Structure 1
Amino acid sequence: MNYDEFVKYLKQDKMEKNVLLLYGEEVFLKAHSKAELLKKITPAQMPEFNVFEFDGRKYDLKAVDEAIEALPVMSDSKLLTFRNSMIFTISGKDTATKEYKEFWEKRLSDIPEDVFLVFDEEKVDKRSGLYKKFQKQNAFAEFSYLSENKMINWTIGLFRTLGKVISPHDAKYLIEITGEGMMAVKHEAEKVAAFTQGEIQITRADIDAVVVPVIENKVFDMVDAMLSQNAYAALSKLNDLCSLKEDETRILGAISSSVDKILTVKLMTESRLDRTQIASKSKIPPFLVSKYITLSAKYTRENLERLLTMCVDTDRNFKLSQGDKTVLLQRLIADFAG
């Protein structure tokens, strides 16, 4: 299920599924949807005996078994919630152990009808056996980033609830400079609303006065200047980042990531993929895809590949401690754009 399907699912009088997996990049939607779900399925009677919460990868499996098997206390149902159990990942340091995965492989086939299980996960690998079990039963809800148009409309509506008016153009600008989805936009919108006090109309100047763009957005503009052979503008933006005490290694990583994404989008557009396909395959939020498409059209593949190679060389010099890192970043800009 996607978000829209999950909203319809919640409107049913009786929940058809007593085991559900919630995951996805849009944490605001997931948190909101989980809260609405729990309102419907949390036992009203004796919650202290019928609601069990398990957090993280390590919890008492015996306690889980006992909670599932014991009859509800003066209630028609019980609820067990799990947050970041990591049983749906395949590898990596954050994955659950084999013991936990094997436990759930067996346990999930025998859950009483009066027991609700809700898994709230940050990381899910769709290749995992447990995920495929949930997929087969359609017992999951994926909360993906909104499309650009939906995100803009949501932001306009958010400001309306705050007693403000914002144009679609300025809403898009706010979305782009926060770059992290609905939760970040909500946080910044509340700041802008408080800053403007008696003013109704929100302007770009209001946004610039309050909102500090994420480093990825600042670096994106710097990369654009570099690719335009505007070394002065790129160096100016680098100096701004350094004055804010941004870590040089993080700056270089953001440069490399931006260039890589621009190149990836360029190759995808040349292959005639649409925006939805580009967002899915590149892992770029749909509301940011358009600016990557616009920028990728301005520059050649060869130029992007050359900058990416120079970033790799600079990273090597970072690791070999060959000089001051800020100077190395300045040299990268000067050598490429000078």
Structure 2
Amino acid sequence: MVFDLWKQIKAKKFAPIYLLYGVESFLINETRQHLINHLLNEEEMDFNLFSYDLEETPIDVALEDAETFPFMGERKLIFLQNPAFLTSEKTKEKVEHNLSKLEAYIKEPSPFTVLVFIAPYEKLDERKKITKELKRNAAILEAKKLNEVELKSWIKERAALNHVEIEEEAVELILSLAGTNLFMLTSEIDKLALYSGAGNGINVHMVENLVSRSLEQNIFTLIDKIVNRKIEEALRIYYDLLKQNEEPIKILSIITGQFRLIYQVKELARRGYGQQQIAGHLKVHPFRIKLAAGQANVFGDKELTHIMKSLAETDYQMKTGGMNKELLIEMFLFRLHHK
């Protein structure tokens, strides 16, 4: 996992070439920052830190730089952004790249340069010779979206980096409250670790009191309260959102999106799709599919159809009528509870 790569970087065990690819930008950005922090000191950064956009600059220019001795310090650090020649994606390349020169460099990299390819693409073209050569010789980070098991492992590892342990129930609760965004999760874990103090533990009570809820997670919790017929708690969440100056039309949009997801999950499950297949088909994180599937079991087909129609009517009234927008959502919640 990524933590193993970071540990090597922290121990100053640098590879001559790195390949960071995938769509999880947080993992790529963190790895990039780790390399900068541990490979160069502040005095060296102005002279030995370089970045090239390969959509604008030929690879030859970057390789010439890589083969030039560093002005100060022991190593250069060079980032190569957007190497589209590693993918099969169609791009409007403005420059031509001498890939044979790159292949030669990969086989014999400069001993005083760390070359980092940053490829923000979901997949690389494994059929291409240059891709094969790079994957054979580089230290690789596949920055993919983490599944539920990997997210739980991430939370535990992040806590361990802060020298604290985290209870299993607390891990589950953080995912439920903060969602699956790694930027958000990292921020919350670091905050909890700071509150807990090194050598101590993070428990459920701390998570309940300290973890910030995103708007989407608040609305998911609101819907969960409705599902379980807890109208008073649902309304309390709604009123809190209004106090935070959240726009009713935005709240309604996210409620609609969540019920649409519940409807889609229910329908696809009936057709025999597994949760992983549904996640891939809808391009939604598997953890969200798991939660929506649990909510889908509570609603019948006719009830879900009725809810979707009611949401459409509420949306129409909110955009065209003169009725109070806050009251429209409140009325929808009461109707849903009654139903």
Q: Displacement, 1:238?
A: 0.9
Matches within 5 A, 1:1-338: 20=19, 22-25=21-24, 27-34=25-32, 52-54=50-52, 61=56, 66-67=61-62, 72-74=67-69, 79-82=78-81, 101-103=92-94, 106-107=96-97, 109=99, 112=102, 113-114=104-105, 118-121=117-120, 124=121, 132=125, 137=131, 142-197=142-197, 200-320=200-320, 322-338=322-338
Q: Deviations over 1:151-183 (max 9, x none)?
A: 223323333343433221221111221113333
Q: Is the 8 A contact 2:159 2:166 kept in 1?
A: yes
User: TM-score scaled by structure 1?
Assistant: 0.71
Q: Deviations over 1:29-56 (max 9, x none)?
A: 33344457789999xxx9867754257x
**Which amino acid is 1:280 matched to?**
G
Question: 3-state SS of the aligned residue for 2:92?
Answer: helix
Q: Please list every run of 5 or more consecutive structure 2 residues that lacks an aligned counterpart in the other structure.
A: 107-114
Distance 1:313 1:54, change over 3 A: farther
Measured on the aligned residues, the alpha-carbon RMSD in Å equals: 4.4
Distance 1:135 1:143, change over 3 A: farther
Q: Deviations over 1:240-288 (max 9, x none)?
A: 2111222222211211121122222222332333333233223332344
Q: Displacement, 1:66?
A: 4.6
Question: 3-state SS of the aligned residue for 1:101?
Answer: coil
Q: Is the 8 A contact 1:222 1:237 kept in 2?
A: yes
Distance 1:170 1:111, change over 3 A: same
Q: Deviations over 1:93-138 (max 9, x none)?
A: xxxxx9x71325x4375653438572343xx577xxxx65887836
Q: Paired residue for 1:94?
A: none
**Which amino acid is 1:220 matched to?**
F
User: TM-score scaled by structure 2?
Assistant: 0.70
Distance 1:325 1:84 in 2: 49
Distance 1:143 1:22 in 2: 6
Q: Displacement, 1:78?
A: 8.5
Q: Is the 8 A contact 2:21 2:118 kept in 1?
A: yes
Q: Displacement, 1:20?
A: 4.9
Distance 1:89 1:281, change over 3 A: same
Question: 3-state SS of the aligned residue for 1:114?
Answer: helix
Q: Please list every run of 5 or more consecutive structure 1 residues that lacks an aligned counterpart in the other structure.
A: 91-97
Q: Is the 8 A contact 1:149 1:287 kept in 2?
A: no
Distance 1:224 1:304, change over 3 A: farther
Distance 1:147 1:326, change over 3 A: same
Q: Deviations over 1:35-88 (max 9, x none)?
A: 57789999xxx9867754257xxx993687754677832379984522799x98
Distance 1:71 1:164 in 2: 40
Distance 1:244 1:182 in 2: 24
